[in-house]
């Protein structure tokens, strides 16, 4: 299999840290037993899971008992949103979310609409940010749940979760946060942050795919109904035999992330600055989102008079994205960028560069040069469109 590519798609997935791979190998070899079993092998498997819960809890500053293991952020989003909405439905059926949320969130809300819930879909400002005052104005007496993403997966825009969470607490509204692009990348203290439900997945911070978690705050009225059935594991909230090796991998990835969040952020800030410096003077190139306060690992740009799929091919062997990974097979322009006011043509021309720990300065500077050349070639091929 060819491996002669340069990877700049870390928002889609990250490589598994070699230390995490070794941890999972050892767990698979010596801790493979069903953790529900009471014999010595089962206890060893269970111990690996408990250690991982402590590692993740330390990263988030929570009690390990407030963590539920899932198959990833998609399941966590589904469980947190649908589970909480149904649990509190007797108190009201009004829900609030953003038009720019991940499909794992928006599709759940559309499903709930079909089941009799009413959803207010908020539109962010042109920079992608949600004004807390706009959010507060959307709440009603029967509002029971809101879901706002921490770091947008396409643009890197970061929402003011502290302010939004405080508003939710004032109105007794549960706040769910999709933090798949935030956990392990920015500091999150859930003892200080007013968040009730938080979703995460390991493969966004150098852990394995297929494992994630849902944080459920320990406070009155904060609970979720299960969406899966079949066993008593995890307080009957999420039944099923736990994958001890994947969970151990998530735990170690969380521990590694906690030790280097500041260093990683400094590295990513430097990379994004160099990348943007190399392309910002190209005619008709626009940043999508708020580059000043956004997560530095993502730079999303559109170009006038250029088609995104053609640009993607011209950029090879660089691995970048034209939208979110979950929606990459769709030919539709990004609904996230359209919600920010971009035209269909500008949304279709968008390229998301996302950097990670292994990314080098040479790689982003080469990417900037390749992007400039690609824009020039495509405009030369269609000079009428560029006029």
- Looking at residue 381, its pLDDT comes to 86
| Catalytic-residue membership of 326 | yes
- Looking at residue 323, its pLDDT comes to 57
pLDDT band at residue 387 using 50, 70 and 90 as cut-offs: very low
Q: What residues does 200 pair with on adjacent strands? A: 213
Position 286 pLDDT exceeds 80: yes
pLDDT band at residue 329 using 50, 70 and 90 as cut-offs: low
The CA-CA-CA angle for residues 247, 177, 208, to 5°, reads 25
Q: What is the mean pLDDT of residues 352-367?
A: 98
Q: Evaluate whether 14 touches 356 at the Cβ level (below 8 Å).
A: yes
Q: What is the mean pLDDT of residues 122-126?
A: 97
Residue 99's φ and ψ, nearest 5 degrees, are -65, -20
Q: What is the mean pLDDT of residues 366-380?
A: 96
Instruction: Write out the two tokens for 250.
Output: 């998530």
pLDDT by residue (tens digit) across 193-247? 999 999 999 999 999 999 999 999 999 999 999 999 998 899 999 999 999 999 9
Q: What is the mean pLDDT of residues 273-278?
A: 98
Task: Please compute, for residue 306, the number of CA atoms within 13 A of its CA located in the half-sphere on the CB side.
Answer: 31
Residue in 272, 154, 250, 146 with CA at minimum distance from that of residue 206:
250
Which of the following is catalytic: 168, 222, 319, 326? 326
Position 171 pLDDT exceeds 50: yes
Task: Name, in order, each residue with C-beta under 8 angstroms of 319's C-beta and a sequence gap of 6 or more.
Answer: 5, 6, 7, 8, 9
The strand ranges marked E within the chain are 6-7, 67-70, 94-98, 118-122, 143-147, 174-178, 197-201, 212-216, 285-287, 298-303, 318-319, 351-354
Fold of 6-13+260-382: 3.90.1150
Q: Evaluate whether 238 touches 78 at the Cβ level (below 8 Å).
A: no
Instruction: Write out the two tokens for 66.
Output: 């407030």
Q: What residues does 95 pair with on adjacent strands? A: 119, 145
Distance CA 127, CA 367 (A): 24
Q: Evaluate whether 6 touches 319 at the Cβ level (below 8 Å).
A: yes
- Looking at residue 325, its pLDDT comes to 46
What ranges do the domains of the chain cover? 6-13+260-382, 18-256
Q: Evaluate whether 300 touches 288 at the Cβ level (below 8 Å).
A: yes
What is the maximum span of the chain, computed from C-alpha positions, in angstroms?
A: 74
Instruction: Write out the two tokens for 109.
Output: 């809300």
Q: What Cα–Cα distance (Å) separates residue 18 from each residue in 28, 207, 249, 300?
A: 15, 10, 10, 29
Q: Do domains 6-13+260-382 and 18-256 have the same CATH topology?
A: no
- What is the pTM assigned to this prediction? 0.95
- Looking at residue 304, its pLDDT comes to 94
CATH class of 18-256: alpha beta
CA 321 to chain centre: 15
Q: What is the mean pLDDT of residues 274-299?
A: 96
């Amino acid at each position: 299999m060819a491996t002669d590519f340069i990877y700049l798609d870390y928002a889609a997935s990250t490589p598994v840290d070699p230390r995490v791979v070794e941890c999972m190998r050892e767990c698979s070899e010596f801790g493979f037993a069903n953790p529900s079993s009471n014999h010595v092998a089962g206890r060893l498997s269970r111990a690996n899971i408990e250690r991982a819960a402590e590692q993740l809890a330390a990263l988030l500053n929570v009690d390990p008992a407030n963590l539920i293991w899932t198959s990833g952020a998609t399941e966590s989003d589904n469980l947190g949103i649908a589970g909480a909405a149904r649990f509190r439905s007797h108190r009201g059926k009004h829900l609030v979310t953003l038009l720019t949320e991940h499909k794992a969130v928006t599709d759940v809300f559309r499903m709930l609409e079909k089941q009799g819930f009413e959803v207010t879909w908020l539109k962010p400002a042109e920079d992608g940010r949600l004004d807390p005052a706009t959010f507060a104005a959307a709440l009603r007496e029967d509002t029971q749940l809101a879901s706002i993403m921490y770091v947008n997966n396409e643009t890197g825009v970061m929402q003011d979760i502290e302010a939004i969470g405080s508003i939710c607490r004032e109105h007794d509204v549960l706040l769910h946060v999709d933090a798949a692009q935030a956990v392990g990348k920015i500091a999150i203290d859930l003892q200080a942050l007013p968040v009730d439900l938080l979703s995460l997945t390991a493969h966004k911070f150098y852990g394995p795919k297929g494992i994630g978690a849902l944080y459920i705050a320990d406070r009155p009225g904060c609970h979720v109904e299960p969406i899966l059935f079949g066993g008593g594991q995890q307080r009957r909230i999420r039944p099923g035999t736990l994958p001890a090796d994947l969970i151990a991998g998530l735990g170690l990835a969380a521990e590694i992330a906690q030790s280097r969040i500041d260093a990683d952020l400094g590295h990513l800030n430097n990379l994004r600055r160099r990348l943007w410096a190399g392309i910002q003077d190209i005619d008709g190139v626009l940043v999508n989102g708020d580059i000043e306060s956004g997560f530095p690992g993502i730079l999303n740009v559109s170009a006038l008079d250029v088609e995104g799929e053609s640009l993607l091919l011209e950029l090879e062997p660089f691995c970048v994205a034209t939208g979110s990974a979950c929606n990459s097979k769709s030919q539709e322009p990004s609904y996230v960028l359209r919600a920010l006011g971009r035209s269909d043509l500008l949304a279709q021309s968008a390229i998301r560069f996302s950097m990670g720990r292994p990314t080098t300065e040479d790689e982003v500077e080469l990417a900037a040069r390749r992007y400039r050349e690609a824009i020039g070639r495509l405009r030369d091929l269609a000079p009428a469109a560029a006029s």
